């Protein structure tokens, strides 16, 4: 299952994407992905999807679960246990032993890379951090920008991605690859345009690498953003940035 960027689902036979991902079974799947790692209790699901309550809401939930299982396991016998959507302790959860989710792969690679950098192994760290950065193909579930149950997980993964890119910048500089450091910082400021430290470091590297025109263009855009957001320009300019740490 791909969740970094637009949600996408595939099985061993190929893609099973479709309009259903925007309908109730797909919404339920996305909710369970957000809650992965623990049981999503039926009461919580009902509160999100059927806040009016009542007996009809319970019936709707059961039907949504049935429809989701049918989408994920079309060959499953009607009364056989699901391999993917497990009923447990008054709720439901995804069985992560048999479901691969890109956000989990991203987080594992991030943990490996951050741990290696903290242990003073920048080359090993860089390999894992580059893998994590490649997996972060966009914000979590961009096809669900407004549902409140996705906000916390989107913010959490966004923060991990920023930490990955900061660490990748550090690992690249530690191994003497300033051009790769620039690429990491470009991605970082795309996620966090008001990270002053990252902006200063990026512009300083561009100046030192004799990419001065690019540095000036980026600074002009940054200056306009800061004035619009804060009413004043950043406290640095391109001329002061050669050799920025």
The percentage of residues in the chain with a pLDDT greater than 70, rounded to a whole number, is: 98
DSSP for 152-217, please give it. Answer: HHHHHHHHHHHHHHHHHHHHHHHTT-HHHHHHHHHHHHHH-TT-HHHHHHHHHHHHHTT-HHHHHH
pLDDT of 238 strictly over 70: yes
pLDDT at site 85: 96
Mean pLDDT of 189-201: 97
Our CA dihedral for 61, 63, 69, 73, rounded to 10 degrees, sits at: -170
- 10 has a pLDDT exceeding 90: yes
- Give residue 90's pLDDT: 94
Domains of the chain, CATH where assigned? 10-94 (1.10.10.10), 102-240 (1.25.40.10)
| pLDDT in the model for residue 242 | 63
Residue 190 predicted with pLDDT over 80 = yes
Closest CA to 79 of 93, 92, 66: 66
Span 52-80, mean pLDDT? 89
Question: Could you report the per-residue pLDDT of 131-188, keeping only the tens digit for each?
Answer: 999 999 999 999 999 999 999 999 999 999 999 999 999 999 999 999 999 999 999 9
């Amino acid at each position: 299952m791909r969740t970094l960027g637009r949600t996408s689902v595939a099985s061993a036979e190929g893609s099973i994407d479709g309009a259903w991902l925007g309908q109730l079974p797909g919404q339920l799947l996305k909710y369970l992905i957000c809650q992965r790692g623990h049981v999503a209790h039926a009461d919580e699901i009902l509160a999100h999807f059927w806040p009016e309550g009542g007996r009809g809401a319970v019936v709707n939930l059961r039907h949504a679960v049935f429809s989701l299982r049918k989408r994920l396991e079309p060959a499953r016998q009607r009364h056989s246990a699901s391999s993917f959507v497990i009923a447990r302790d008054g709720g439901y959860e995804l069985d992560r032993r048999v479901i691969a989710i890109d956000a989990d792969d991203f987080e594992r690679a991030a943990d490996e890379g951050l741990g290696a950098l903290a242990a003073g192994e920048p080359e090993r760290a860089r390999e894992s951090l580059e893998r994590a950065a490649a997996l972060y193909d966009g914000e979590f579930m961009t096809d669900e920008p407004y549902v409140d149950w996705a906000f916390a997980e989107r913010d959490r993964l966004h923060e991990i991605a920023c930490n990955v890119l900061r660490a990748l910048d550090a690992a690249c500089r530690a191994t003497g690859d300033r051009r790769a450091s620039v690429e990491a910082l470009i991605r970082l400021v795309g996620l966090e345009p008001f990270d002053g430290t990252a902006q200063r470091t990026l512009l300083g590297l561009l100046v030192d690498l004799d990419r001065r025109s690019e540095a000036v263009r980026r600074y002009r855009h940054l200056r306009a953003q800061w004035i619009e957001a804060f009413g004043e320009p950043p406290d640095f300019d391109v001329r002061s940035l050669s050799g920025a740490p």
